[in-house]
Amino acid sequence: MNDQGNAIPIQKDKPIAPIRPRDAASLLLIDRSGKDLRILMGKRHMRHVFMPGKFVFPGGRTEPADGRISAIAELSDVDQAKLLTGMGSRSSVQRCRAIALSAVRETYEEAGLLLGRRHPDTVSISHPDWAAFVERKILPDLSVLRYFARATTPPGRSRRFDTRFFLAFRDAVADTLPEATGPSQELEELCWLSFHEANQLDIPEITRTIIMEAEAILAANPTLDPGNAVIRYRMKYGRFVREVF
């Protein structure tokens, strides 16, 4: 009631529109030069709203322009087919390329590592996000990426990502920034760690799960030949499930 004795209408909360997860990609870069395999991880800057201070792999959201970037070699037929699986009505080869190329771009932006191969001629990539590749005459190489996992943020979150995870060996790095970090400075304390050491860090639970899956893939397929299974984590029937395809 208000002061005049009239009933005050109850304001009902507006239903929250479902958020479509955004495509994203993350790269697990593996150093196989020593006795034990080591994985690259970095600490997210504390200024970040999303997972500040957590250790993660290089990665981030996919931009539409990524799919139009030239590559010196494309995804294997097997990896492309696996990426196309589950894309629904928005399925396309360009979208597959965009996801894979965003893993390469984000690895440069966050870790200062350029995956690809040098090209003797001028590299024709006009997008400013790829200027460092052009300057060094490097074209990204998608054939070295092995798609092995996918995780979708559950509904109800303010930010949702449909993240595809790739594996690649450190050998695929054609050049490295001398600053030992990427120009975005989103990751600090970049380090190469054994799988055991990585699991001791302050990491999100899904990151821990992906590390476990990567270790299993490498144990079964140490040379990362195409044809490995892909593991998917998502909400289904009200619970988080693990699927293999």
Best CA proximity match to 203, nearest among 50, 76, 88, 56: 56
pTM: 0.90
Q: Strands 113-115, 173-176: parallel, antiparallel or unpaired by DSSP?
A: antiparallel
Section 215-238 average pLDDT:
95
Residue 205 backbone phi and psi in degrees, to 5: -65, -35
Please state which of the ranges 14-18, 131-135, 205-209, 215-219 shows the lowest mean pLDDT: 14-18
Residue 197 clears pLDDT 80, i.e. is over it: yes
- Give per-residue pLDDT as tens, 103-154: 999 999 999 999 999 988 877 788 999 999 999 999 999 999 999 999 999 8
Taking CA atoms, 118 is separated from 75, 115, 132, 145, 192, in Å, by 18, 10, 12, 17, 24
